[in-house]
Amino acid sequence: MVGGRRHALRDGLVIAEVAMAVVLLATAGTFNLPSEPIFILLGVDALIDMARTAVNVTGNCLASAVIARWEGGLEEPKSLDAPVI
């Protein structure tokens, strides 16, 4: 069932992007604005979205590492080569 939810979520996001394009184009038509710049913005938005996602994931990983270090979770492990007494 989890896979179905992920698929539905992805489809919902795609539908939201298409709906955004339809609303932008309808608004541009209402105000007699050219629609070509909207298509350019939508094309660039896909690239910007990928960069935004990469920055978000990097920030989340860095924040997790900082908190783990702060709480002592990233201490150096004790050496296993120490002599046994």
Residue 17 CA to residue 26 CA, distance in Å, equals: 14
Instruction: Check whether residue 46 and residue 59 sit in a common domain.
Output: yes
Determine the pLDDT at residue 32: 94
Give me the mean pLDDT over the 3-13 stretch.
57
Nearest to 67 by CA among 55, 77, 59: 59
pLDDT tens, position by position, 50-77: 899 999 999 999 999 999 989 888 777 6
Answer yes or no: is 85 within a domain: no
Distances, alpha carbon 6 to alpha carbons 46, 55, 56, in Å: 20, 22, 20
How many domains does the chain fold into? 2
pLDDT per position as a tens digit, 72-81? 887 776 666 6
Residue 48 lies in a domain: yes
| Residues 39, 13 share a domain | no
The whole model's pTM is what?
A: 0.52
* Contact between residue 35 and residue 25 where contact means Cβ atoms under 8 Å apart: yes
